[in-house]
Amino acid sequence: MNYKTIGQLLFLSFCSMSLFSCVEIEDDDETNKDDKKATEVISISTADELFRFAERVNSGETKLDAELIADIDISGREWIPIGFKPGNDYLGYFKGNKHTITGVTIVEETIEKAYDFENSILEYAYPVGLFSRVGSEGDIQGVELKDVSIVLPKCSQIGGIAGASSGRILTCTVSGSIIGHGGIGGIVGHDYGTVSGCTNYTSIKGVHDIGGVTGLAVTYAISCKNYGKVEGNEIVGGVVGCSGAKTILFNLENYGDVSATTNVGGIIGMAAGEFYNSVNYGKVTGSDFAIGGVIGIIDRGSLAVLGFSYGTPDKVYVENCINYGVVQGPEEGTHAVIGDIYDEDMLERNKLIVSIRNCFYDFSANPLLSDVNALRMDSDTKDVLNEWVAQKPAKHETVAFKIWDVDETGKLALKKK
């Protein structure tokens, strides 16, 4: 198989390897140093300082850089997202330094007033999170949110860190609870940039396009983990809800239970693009169709059928994916790794080509399931995969990737970093 070489883009570089392209991200400490012209870096150590920073950004100072220098508790105070006004996307560098912001609370009444829902029929289009919109120059790193509470059943594009992002969200952690309508992720609702090295513990409930880390991934979701419970109606994944034709998903792990009616997977609900090196441990439950331990459905219509202009895929790559979790659903349309593949062209163009290699599942967890796209794991395979999962990044969690492959004898083997 010939794999395409992907050029440097959005601070990512992809280097050609024997099976697929690997990804390298610049160290966050060096990020944008030469590009930053702002002379002010705001140090935030109290709740009042955080609110004042948000007010300045929301008043038009969108390129403000800031860093947390202490843990902050804003419990009991309703939060209006940073950059919520159209045209006020956050374009600065916000460094969390692994400090915790506790108690981000966003309620319907506050958002309806701030976003002026009474005069808009597009309430679903207003992103909500600690940040509303992060622009392409925006950079959010090392932020930890604790006890997040977002209850917005009418809204879409909801995430703990950001509702929508075209920038970079790296090494962030979120815990708490999020309830919304669609496009919901524990880290970011709609991701048009890069989300990498992030971990979600948030329980998430919505209707469609729901993921533990991101509801919608258009470009890159890399080295992220989900431990939260994820529930929805359709297009629901433990890490990603839906991906597009140009999306690259790499090194994703899910440990939380995932449930939906249809198009539900342990890692991703509806998949297109490229998808590598991911493991599901969580229980996956569905009641209708396209229920898979790793992927709910592979579909050339991902995003395109929703009217997005990110291209319709001609090829989808799935490699090195594993399911350890229990998968439960109707006999038809439920499989140990990939629930279903929809390769028919609704617009009568070329047939979708799907390449699937080196996918495995734990037969002891799913003795009644089969999957023509995957192999049962034997004891040797489990040992290698356990070693792979236990690997620690050599340098930084956003730049070191755990890689495994099948050797010439057909056995699993770890690749050296």
Expressed as residue numbers, the domain containing 300 is: 43-414
Give which of 60, 38, 42, 41 is closest to 50, Cα–Cα: 42
pLDDT at 52: 97
Percent of the chain at pLDDT exceeding 70:
76
Most confident stretch, 142-146, 314-318, 358-362: 142-146
Cα–Cα dist 254/242, whole Å: 15
In the predicted structure, residue 22 carries a pLDDT above the cut 50: no
* Arithmetic mean of pLDDT, 64-79: 96
In the predicted structure, residue 241 carries a pLDDT above the cut 80: yes
Q: In terms of pLDDT, which residue wins out, 413 or 218?
A: 218
At residue 306, the 3 state secondary structure works out as helix
At residue 326, the 3 state secondary structure works out as coil
What is the dihedral angle through the alpha carbons of 121, 305, 128, 212, rounded to the nearest 10 degrees? 150
For residue 22, being part of any structural domain is answered with no
For residue 212, being part of any structural domain is answered with yes
pLDDT at 342: 83
pLDDT at 260: 98
For residue 174, being part of any structural domain is answered with yes
pLDDT at 238: 98
The whole-model pTM stands at 0.85
pLDDT band at 413 (very low <50, low <70, confident <90, very high): low
pLDDT band at 24 (very low <50, low <70, confident <90, very high): very low
Structure token pair of residue 41: 């870096």
For residue 349, being part of any structural domain is answered with yes
Structure token pair of residue 302: 């991902």
pLDDT band at 3 (very low <50, low <70, confident <90, very high): very low
For residue 35, being part of any structural domain is answered with no
Q: How many domains does the chain have?
A: 1
* Arithmetic mean of pLDDT, 177-186: 96
pLDDT at 91: 97
In the predicted structure, residue 307 carries a pLDDT above the cut 50: no
Give the type of residue at 18: S
Most confident stretch, 205-214, 296-305, 381-390: 205-214
Structure token pair of residue 373: 């796209």
Residue 250's beta-bridge partner residues?
Answer: 222, 276
Mean pLDDT value across the chain: 82
For residue 170, being part of any structural domain is answered with yes
Q: In terms of pLDDT, which residue wins out, 241 or 393?
A: 241
For residue 243, being part of any structural domain is answered with yes
pLDDT band at 411 (very low <50, low <70, confident <90, very high): low
Q: In terms of pLDDT, which residue wins out, 21 or 277?
A: 277
pLDDT at 124: 54
For residue 31, being part of any structural domain is answered with no
* Arithmetic mean of pLDDT, 2-23: 31
At residue 123, the 3 state secondary structure works out as helix
pLDDT band at 2 (very low <50, low <70, confident <90, very high): very low
**E strand or H helix that includes residue 385:** helix 379-390
Over the stretch 189-207, which tens digit does the pLDDT of each residue have?
999 999 999 999 999 999 9
